Amino acid sequence: MSRLRRMAAPLVLAVGGGLFAAAPAAEAAPVACDTTSTPYTYVVTYQPGTRASAVDKELAAKCGTKVAYYGEIGVAIASSRNADFQQKIGVYRAYSGGKDVASSASARTSLGAVRTLEDTQSVAAAGDLSAQQWDMKAIHAPEANKKYQGSRSVTVGVLDSGIDATHPALKAAVSPSESAGCITGAADTSPASWAPTTSDHGTHVAGTIAGKDPAAGFTGIAPGVKLASVKVVNDEGYIFPESAVCGFVWAAKHGFPVTNNSYYIDPGMFFCSREPGDAAAYEAVRRAIQYSTHHGVLNVSAAGNSGFDTTDQTTDPNRPHPVDSSCGILPKAIDGVVTVSSVGYAGTKSSFSNYGEIDVTAPGGDFSQTPPTGAGPACPLSTTVFGGLYGSKCGTSMASPHAAGVAALIASKFRWLPPQLLAKVLTGEADPVKCAAAETECTGPAKNNSYYGHGLVNALDAVR
């Protein structure tokens, strides 16, 4: 019940021994909304199942407009020019990553510092590339490919910067009908919305999962499966909560058994579930991930490239604020997400890889673990958008799709395996990697430790 309607009945007063009815109080004038300032996009939380009409009404009354509404999880994506929109809605119900970035120059500086690693690239030499794919050999993908390459009934959602569907190794794998752009928080199925623009990150990830180019001798882990390009990275390199929410809901509604998430949600590194603003972002993403899990999706995520124990941080390197047990790096902090650390050519943790709560590890490269001549670059080789060529990138972003590719093979063999059991098979078939004596910060047994989780993913064991 809004504004003064609770007092609509006449108030009866006694004055000088007589009675009279006072006139009803006038309703407040409509709020004047800002029509000229820069608009920002927000995630706004509601009770799941709230009617869209009620959402529209509240947003309009508080100077916002609906971009999308996911009623199943009670999350709206809204746009507003008003600087006080979050306060109008409630600081624990609304959050804008874009506004946060615009108001904090330090966020952009920090973001660039932690992502530079993934942008390193060298174009591969001409000729048969199979000899340079040391990462595939490390997880026994070539042997697995001889036995089984995956099923076309399985689609892996690549939540990233878009996939180049014209690349020779990817044109047979990308499914346009299952692809969408989620940058605004509302799914857009036009091909331009999910194609890469300023980054080949998603294309590189896609090649690792399901690329195949016989002419170049390049093969990914599960070349028999399909790929959906779900673009969540904007042209400035940010993945805001609204884009991730859209991506996870899209994956759920289209029945993807697996998604790969080689990113963390911006502009934080950590979002805290009990802090103003952060609480809305955390809850919106949590609901979207849980919704996808309940609809049969196994979400695989990169551990991150800061080289620290994610369970032992007290500050956020991107946004100066305290970090405690209520905080986490999204999406990997949410229950049910498989977190992947990175190893280099020597099979030990990459110097940059985060550790702590890890499920499995996979090749992500390391500049200090250099392969012998002819075995390829230190960083895994995969597809790029530069004229159908190939290049190398290092990062847990490159490790995660190795795990997602193996998960896709398992999902192909056991098509209706629920995500919890799919994850159990993925971790159970991994090759244990024990902590080395020199790895003093690595804790736990070989089958489940803070550096390597349950071990190095194994594509061959997954298809046996």
Residue 242 to residue 316: CA distance in whole angstroms = 21
Residue with tokens 């009279």: 20
Say yes or no to pLDDT of 277 above 70.
yes
Fold of 32-95: Alpha-Beta Plaits (3.30.70)
Task: Look at residue 386 in the predicted model and tell me its pLDDT.
Answer: 78
Say yes or no to pLDDT of 327 above 90.
yes
- Are the CB atoms for 318 and 107 separated by under 8 Å? yes
Q: Could you count the other beta carbons within 10 Å of the beta carbon of residue 189? A: 13
Task: Look at residue 18 in the predicted model and tell me its pLDDT.
Answer: 37
Domain boundaries, the chain: 32-95, 108-463
Task: Look at residue 127 in the predicted model and tell me its pLDDT.
Answer: 73
Q: Mean of the pLDDT values across residues 254-272?
A: 97
Strands laid side by side in the 226-231 sheet: 180-181, 226-231, 155-160, 258-261, 298-302, 338-343, 360-363
- Pick from 2-16, 19-33, 122-136, 165-179 the range whose average pLDDT is largest: 165-179
Task: Look at residue 121 in the predicted model and tell me its pLDDT.
Answer: 60
Kindly report the three-state secondary structure assignment for every residue of 135-174: HHHHCCHHHHHHHCCCCCCCEEEEEECCCCCCCCCCCCCE
Cβ-in-10-Å burial (0-12, 13-18, 19+) of 172 comes to: middle
Say yes or no to pLDDT of 14 above 90.
no
Task: Look at residue 149 in the predicted model and tell me its pLDDT.
Answer: 98
Q: Residue 54 belongs to what H/E stretch?
A: helix 52-61
Say yes or no to pLDDT of 13 above 50.
no
- The tens digit of pLDDT for each residue in 53-68 reads 999 999 999 999 999 9
Q: Mean of the pLDDT values across residues 405-414?
A: 98
Q: What are phi and psi of 77, to 5 degrees?
A: -110, 125
Say yes or no to pLDDT of 4 above 70.
no
Say yes or no to pLDDT of 91 above 60.
yes
Fold of 108-463: Rossmann fold (3.40.50)
Task: Look at residue 125 in the predicted model and tell me its pLDDT.
Answer: 56
Say yes or no to pLDDT of 113 above 60.
no
Q: How does DSSP classify residue 123?
A: B
Q: For residue 274, name the pLDDT band (cuts at 50, 70, 90).
A: very high
